[in-house]
Structure formats: C-alpha cells, structure tokens
Chain A
Amino acid sequence: MLRNRVIPIVLLDGYSVVKTIQFDIRRNLGNPIVVSRIYESRNVDELILLDIDASRENRSIDLHTVEAVSCECFMPLTIGGGLKTCQDIENALKAGADKVSLNSIIFENPYFLKEAVSVFGSQCIVASIDIKKDNSGEYVLFSNSGKDIKFSLEECLSLLIDSKVGEVLLNNVDLDGMMTGYDLDLIKYVSSRVNTPVIAAGGASKPEDCVKAVKAGASAVAVASIFHFTSITPRICKEAMANAGIPTRI
C-alpha cells in the first residue's frame, strides 16, 4: 500500500534557512546543508527546498546549495524558487532535484506548465499555490513576489488539471508558521477537485494535525515550524498517523 508522506520543507532566503510567519516575520535557522543532513539521518520520506526570495529578486535558487544537499541526501528532493524556463528546470534537475516546484511562473505565463510537463513529464512538475482568505472570507490566490494575480482559485485548479501537473503543493498563507493546524476545508476542496496527489502545507502544530490533513484528502503533509522549533520529529508525526490507521513508512 502506498504510504502517506511526511515532508519537511526547508525555506531559504538565498543562502540561509529561514522560517516565516504568515510569509512575513522571519527567523534565521542557519545552513541548509546542515539542516538537510539532519533530515537525511532521520530517513525522512522526501525533502522540499524552496527559495522564497528568488522570484522577487529575479533570480533562481542557488544550485550549489542544491548540489551540496543532493550529494548527501538519497531521498527525493523537490526544488523551487524562481524557476521560469525549461533551462532553469533542467539546471535544477542536473543539480540534483527530482521534482521542481513552480509558483510565480504559473500566473506570469499560464502556458508554461503544459510545456514543462511535455518536456519533463508530469511526475517532475509540482504546482505550488499559495492561498489566503480575503476580507469576505473567500479563498484567493496570493503572490509572494507581490504581483497581481488575475486567477480565481477555481480557474487556477482548472489550469493545473489541464496542464497535467504531477502534484499540488497547497499552502495556506494565513496559517503559515502559526502552528494552529492545517486548513482542512481547503485541503478537502482542492483534493476533491484534482486527481493528483496533494501536499498540504501551512499550520501544523502537532502530530494529530498531520492525521487530520490526510483524512481530509492530503496524500502528503509538509511540515516546517514544528520540526524547527519543537521536539516533534517526522517519526513522531508518522507514529501518530500509523496509530490512526494511516499507512506510513517508519
């Protein structure tokens, strides 16, 4: 049986690991290679490495860092941050990425997803979407690089389905770093709309949150803050999931 994954997310500001709260306030957490090495020694299911400043600063994630991480980590690696062309993706793959996470480019050039899928295959392309609630409580897409997004959530999901992306990384910006639990309604909605695996991100506060996210429809849970700031490890999350009858790899 396929196991539900627990995936640590490592955010970079170019060179250092950071953790944000609601995509804003930051704490610096040091060297990404050291952080990744710890996750490797813990046999985590997968690792996501995202440079959250790359698009805004008009550059791509630093490939030397990616390469250094991939030389020591023999687990699947998803890389994101400022990837906007097939050449960018190819470079990321060469540096050791297995999958790439695309975000800003989805809205700058909606045709690009299809192109990337045709060259690299669905399994390589992860669409990362950031969502928050507007004043009226409706879900809207959020751009971390400060651009205006003209798509509704519904239109965006149709685009992802048409483009045949392999996975959706679903992030609730309001809950980022808040450690108050995932947005279960959002997970339910998106995972019922798309036919690909959904990775839920934003808000995990305790292992039980991972259980709830999977029961809401997530194939995998992405976690950052509780691994950085508390004594909870990926294994503890997986044990809680296993106790709730969810298949995990321990």
Chain B
Amino acid sequence: MITVIDLKIGNINSVSRALKYIGIEHILSSNPVDIDKAEKLIFPGVGSFAEAMKRMRNQGLDSALKQAVLSRKVPILGICLGMQLFASIGEEGGKTEGLDFIKARVAYHRASGLGFRLPHIGWNEVEHNDLEIFDSVPEKSCFYFVHSYEFIPEEQIETGHTNYGVDFVSFVKKNNIIGTQFHLEKSQGVGLKVLSNFCEDKF
C-alpha cells in the first residue's frame, strides 16, 4: 500500500485525486503507524519549511519517516516542499533542520538576485537525463512549478535541472529517495506519467 503523507497544510488532495485517476490505491495519513506499515511513500507539500518540520516533530513523523526511509529503504517520492524537506537544512521561515535524507540546503532562489520575478510560477522545461522514472516522458518536457526556494545538493546524487535565471536542481534521486521540485499532480499527462512510473517501480 502507498501512504500519502498528510501534514494538513496545503493542497494534498490533488495528489490523491491524481492517484485515483490513474487507478492507484493509497491512503492519506499523518499517523506514524501508517508510515511504519507503508510499502511506498509519497510526500507532497506546499507551505513553509519551518512550519512543516514543526508539525512533523509534534506528531513524531520525522522519526517514523527516518526509520522507514533510511532503515527499511521504503521508496519515497517528495513533491515540491516534500522534496525540500529531504535536505539537511532549510532557510524558509528561519534556519530549520530538515530530515537530512540528502546532504543539501534549501535557500532562496538565486534568480531573485538576477532580476527574475519570484515565486517561479508556471511551466518550465526539465532536463531529466532520461532517468528511468521519466520513462516515456520526452527530455525537456514542461512541468508546472510554483516555488521561491531551491534545493542545493551538497553531495553527489542523480539530478535533473531547470533554468530560471540559473540552472537549478529540479529533480533528485538518491537510492530509494526521489524528489521533484515540480508538481506532478498538476502537470497533466507528463506529470501523471512520472507518478505512475513511481507507483510501478520504474525508478
């Protein structure tokens, strides 16, 4: 069973609707017990880094997630803030420790210093280097983004890139940990395809 982690902030139902549409059974939960039992995890999220970490700690979700992802090696897909929370440290809403699944920090997007408007909102190309999870998705397909902070890895991992003023990391993969800065559930056909690839173990 797939567990979709619900921190009760933002639009989590969109992911659930997208999964339903492509016929994938799943549960929505913020209960550590459901994370202990999960065979796969999807971690969507919008909102602020600090607020999300606070909610996770209050519910004991951070330790349940660490146990599942680092010890049991359960595949996890983080979307937008969900991916950002994999980092060691986040700068949104004050410096906050993240889940530290990937040595990385999350900082205000460098495009701001280059005269680009933030948030980075809209459709932008992803150079995904034909990684397996993008099976049947053409290189440089457009996905939907809405974010002001970017994920900056500080260790060697597989990445995909997008350009907004600068090339930034819009996709990460480290073993069983996968993250997309873009919203799969809002990227129409290509987004649903990546979501179903994850559910069908193509990664």
Asked if A pairs with B, the answer is: yes
For residue A2, CB closer than 8 A to chain B, the reply is yes
- Chain A positions within 8 Å of B89 at CB level: none
B186 touches A45 (CB 8 A): no
Q: Mark A205-230, 1 if CB is under 8 A from B, else 0.
A: 00000000000000110000000000
B11 touches A3 (CB 8 A): no
- Chain B positions within 8 Å of A96 at CB level: 11, 13-14, 17
For residue B125, CB closer than 8 A to chain A, the reply is yes
- Chain A positions within 8 Å of B17 at CB level: 70-71, 74, 96
Query: Cα distance A218–B195 when bound, in Å?
Result: 32
Query: Cα distance A62–B145 when bound, in Å?
Result: 27
**Contact-residue bracket for chain A:** 35 or more
The stretch that binds B, out of A120-128, A145-153, A181-189, is A120-128
Q: Mark B17-56, 1 if CB is under 8 A from A, else 0.
A: 1100100000000000000000000000011100100000
A123 touches B119 (CB 8 A): yes
- Chain A positions within 8 Å of B10 at CB level: 93, 120-121, 124
A249 touches B18 (CB 8 A): no
- Chain B positions within 8 Å of A166 at CB level: 119, 121, 146
Q: List B residues at the A interface (Cβ < 8 Å).
A: 9-11, 13-14, 17-18, 21, 46-48, 51, 117-125, 142, 144-148, 163-164, 183, 185-189, 191-192
The contact sample of 19 A-B pairs, CB cut-off 8 A, is A1-B164, A2-B145, A3-B123, A5-B123, A43-B189, A45-B123, A70-B13, A70-B17, A74-B185, A75-B144, A76-B146, A96-B13, A120-B47, A121-B48, A123-B119, A124-B10, A166-B121, A167-B119, A249-B142
